[in-house]
Chain A
Amino acid sequence: MVNQPLDAALATLVAAARRSDVARRISGDVETRLLQSIVDATVQLFEAEAASIALFETDPDRLEFRVAAGEKGAGAVGLTVPPTQGIVGYVYSTGQALALSDVANDPRFNRDAAQQTGYVPRSIAAAPLVDEEGTVGVLQVLDKHSSATFSLRDMELLAVFAGQATVAIAAARVQRDTRGLLREVLSELAPDLDQDGVDALVSAAAAGLDADEDQPFWRLVDQVDRLRSLTDREASMVADILTVVAEHAERTRRDRRGR
């Protein structure tokens, strides 16, 4: 029952998984590094006390500060706030950028969260990070040295940095999604295999690659090869998906090399 599209699919699967793993190892946590460079630049350009980026995470729903810069910024990293509270929550929820001045004079304003960071700002400007799916996080900047308030031009600049951060997140997530794609492909190839089985196969493949051994990966290939229920149409669809995966991985690899 071996057919050409399935062989091609398997070959591409091997190549894609290897490339994605290589890219991951070379880059480390590329997302955090890119986001850090963006908040560094934000603090410098605004001449502000601090800048930080919070990303939306689930289980439970929260906004988690991933990176921060500036003299007063460091305390924010790792802090989580409910997505329904404060300026950051508001900007996340509505997708509308906002600047507040005179924050510290309002004793009730977001004070608990701010105090956790060790710094209660006088003014805040925040812009949403918006991709095609919706809002994924918030970029905020605290207290310009030169002015007590933020201007419209500040808001526009902040939106530009927010745009960069969104692109950085999207690029980094392509790598992470490769694993998700493998999972989808396997489910498609083996509709009888339950979710645990699919997860086990994907984990085996990923773990094996980390150990620099090809063997577990071939186990995966063997498993896939044993799936006899594949029609030509399904197999060709799988091959198409895998080609896309491979192209993504190839592009990521080329980008790394190009730097």
Chain B
Amino acid sequence: MTDPTLPAWSEPFAHPRRTLRRTLRVRGVSREWAWGGATGAGIRVGIIDSGLENAHPRLDRRVVQNVAVEMTDEGPKVVPDEPMDLFGHGTACGAIILSLAPEAELVSIRVLGADLRGKGTAFAAGLEWAIEQGLPVCNLSLSSKSETLYPVFHDLVDRAYFGSMALVSAANNVPAPSYPSLFSSVFSVAAHGEPDPWRVYYNPEPPVEFGAWGVDVPIAWKDGGSTVATGNSFAAPHIAGLVALILSKHPGLTPFELKAILASVADNPGRRHPWRRRR
């Protein structure tokens, strides 16, 4: 039964999570195996957002590069950027990733800026740049509603997937189509409300495949500040952080393999160590 009091995109991750009940668990794939002892070291994580404030204490000097997409007459261009964040949102995402994978390296790809009219195009250009750099993980806590850009994003997402890049994409907060979060190959993420950064759900009924903490999350914000926020934007970087952790321990895993590992170690109900039950 659908509970009319719950929002569509978070409903699968709220109690009692009936649709999340799964029996499949890959023997030998545990959290300890997946990321035990890992720190995210050696993994560069792209953050396509409002920039990163390198000096923010919660970013812990882990930002290795800042670029921005500039809209020029010849089209979008990727240029070096100041170590700053327009809103605080990118910094919030970066700090969440580091809270799980403290030794990951962050690459800021700022696509939000003064030229708001070209934002969908800037977003696509930033994503293309991230793919060309061969970043193994990229966090996208934003989406585009542009139907015109649908094929552009579709092509980019396929390039990322075939290039073994994990794109972690926040589901839109409103029930309207937006991209690339609705494409099948991305790690699409919505929020659950349990205050546990390590709690992950796998949703066998897409489009949203993963649930992570996104309600009342204590986040870093602009100018060295912090606040508490709710949004799928803050659920996605929890998954990006876990992916960085897994990759630092098991380099070269494909997005397909990473999804399977996350699904296998997820906190879905009715599946705590099911292989121990003898029939």
Chain B residues contacting A90 (CB-CB under 8 Å) are 50, 87, 89, 112
Find out whether the CB atom of B87 lies under 8 angstroms from the CB atom of A99. Answer: no
* Interface status of B226 (Cβ within 8 A of chain A): yes
Find out whether the CB atom of B229 lies under 8 angstroms from the CB atom of A100. Answer: yes
Find out whether the CB atom of A101 lies under 8 angstroms from the CB atom of B228. Answer: yes
A102 to B218, CA, bound (A): 10
The listed residue (B87, B175, B225) touching A159 by CB distance below 8 A is: B175
Find out whether the CB atom of B7 lies under 8 angstroms from the CB atom of A155. Answer: yes
Given contacts A98-B229, A102-B228, A153-B7, contact A84 B113 (CB under 8 A): yes
A61 to B118, CA, bound (A): 13
Chain A residues contacting B173 (CB-CB under 8 Å) are 96-98, 127, 155, 159
The listed residue (A93, A100, A153) touching B116 by CB distance below 8 A is: A93
A149 to B223, CA, bound (A): 22
Interface size class of B (residues with CB under 8 A): 35 or more
Find out whether the CB atom of B193 lies under 8 angstroms from the CB atom of A151. Answer: yes
Find out whether the CB atom of A163 lies under 8 angstroms from the CB atom of B174. Answer: yes
Find out whether the CB atom of A99 lies under 8 angstroms from the CB atom of B229. Answer: yes
Chain B residues contacting A152 (CB-CB under 8 Å) are 6-7, 10, 14, 191, 193, 215, 230
Distance from A105 Cβ to chain B, minimum over Cβ atoms (Å): 8
Find out whether the CB atom of A149 lies under 8 angstroms from the CB atom of B230. Answer: yes
Given contacts A101-B228, A153-B6, A155-B231, contact A93 B143 (CB under 8 A): no
- Interface residues as binary, A121-158 with B (CB distance below 8 Å gives 1, 0 otherwise): 00001011010101100000000000001111101100
Given contacts A95-B142, A130-B176, A152-B10, contact A85 B225 (CB under 8 A): no
A162 to B173, CA, bound (A): 12
A9 to B201, CA, bound (A): 61
Smallest CB gap from B3: residue in A: A153
Chain B residues contacting A108 (CB-CB under 8 Å) are 222-225
- Shortest Cβ-Cβ A-B pairs, 10 listed: A156-B7, A97-B173, A99-B230, A101-B228, A108-B223, A159-B174, A106-B225, A90-B87, A94-B142, A98-B231
Chain B interface (Cβ within 8 Å of chain A)? Answer: 5-8, 10, 14, 50, 86-87, 89, 112-114, 116, 119-120, 141-147, 170, 172-176, 178, 191, 193, 215-216, 221-233
Cross-chain pairs A/B with CB under 8 angstroms, 15 sampled: A85-B87, A90-B89, A93-B87, A94-B112, A94-B141, A94-B143, A94-B233, A95-B142, A97-B231, A98-B229, A100-B227, A100-B230, A101-B216, A135-B145, A152-B6
Chain A interface (Cβ within 8 Å of chain B)? Answer: 61, 83-86, 89-90, 92-103, 105-109, 125, 127-128, 130, 132, 134-135, 149-153, 155-156, 159, 162-163
8 further A-B pairs in the complex, CB-CB below 8 A; given A109-B225, A149-B230, A152-B14: A84-B116, A94-B142, A94-B143, A102-B227, A130-B174, A134-B146, A152-B193, A156-B8
